[in-house]
Structure 1
């Protein structure tokens, strides 16, 4: 359970701290691979990223779009910073750190903004770009649970019996959207 004292702030359960470390590490690894591949693509426009598997699962197709650089630089650089910070926050919590309420609210805001951006990117990948990037999908898989469990942490409701339902529905929804959007391709594999 979370620990709180007026002078030191709010800590977190060991489970939530480990969760932040794992999600931060997964997101950071995916962002690092995307960043390296983007650099290679900038150096050599003929470079083919290792995650170009077929016409649907194709990082290169995604990396070459304007959506991959929404703020004028590769989106993966945002991931390096954000997931690196989450990894550090989780490690700090594992070491016994506590944070003031404003810090937790800032983390909440960051995860909500990250979720909004991720939803937009999912839409772009599915319906505008028409291709999927496996490393981007790792980020998709991490961001919603991060937002959800940060919300539960801030509401002090991490022990709810059905806390897993929202992430499970998220994964199911994304899987159904992918299946539906690319059904024309999947059925050729049957």
Structure 2
């Protein structure tokens, strides 16, 4: 297997991992929404505290921006990412327009997640565990895809740009960690003890 081929397989593997994690989080949120609808007044299983919960997010207008629960978008969209990951590993060659369409989708997901993060932290003043799981995989998926469409020539034919994008791929984990740190900082500045709540949830 060539080095370039191995790098593309690595990207495909990540898409599968992200898709499984993102789909599971969306599915769990969907179940929580059904539970809350069926049992008015009761708290969902992901309710940990006033600050760390799913209930307030799911019951808000931000939790159904398009008129239906946001998690339903993830249930469908992550399947597409999963299929894409399998196709990449299998060596399927997609036309340029298809890659650009996929990249546009990941960009839209990233922008939507950024908006939801801001709404959750500053407007709702809560942190939804399953929402955070979705954020955790959406952010690096966008970073990796943005570089991949440059690396594979879908966004540009420049050999220099493609080479640089390939080199920058190794920095995706660091960029992701910095993005997580920014979210934590936002939460702390907004008065939400994100670190404390997450530690309490784990231990």
Deviations 1:19-55 (A, max 9, x none): 0000011100000000111111122212321110011
TM-score, normalised relative to structure 1: 0.87
- Are 1:84 and 2:79 matched, yes or no? yes
Match of 2:167 among 154, 159, 175: 159
Identify, as 1 or 2, the structure richer in helix: 2
Match of 2:112 among 108, 117, 140: 117
Contact 1:62/1:131, CA 8 A, preserved across alignment: yes
After TM superposition, the structure 1 = structure 2 runs for residues 29-178 of structure 1, keeping only pairs within 5 Å, are 29-156=24-151, 157-160=165-168, 161-178=170-187
Distance in 2, Cα, partners of 1:129 & 1:176: 17
Distance in 2, Cα, partners of 1:185 & 1:167: 17
Deviations 1:65-103 (A, max 9, x none): 110000000000000111111011111222232211111
Unaligned segments of structure 2, at least 5 residues:
152-164
Q: RCO higher in 1 or 2 (8 Å CA, sep ≥ 6)? A: 1
Please, which moves more after superposition, 45-54 or 126-135?
A: 45-54
Tell me the number of residue pairs that the alignment of Structure 1 and Structure 2 aligns. Answer: 182
Contact 1:149/1:158, CA 8 A, preserved across alignment: no
Residue 149 of structure 1 deviates from its aligned partner by 0.4
Residue of structure 1 equivalent to 2:155? none
**Change in 2 beyond 3 A, CA 1:101/1:181:** same
TM-score, normalised relative to structure 2: 0.82
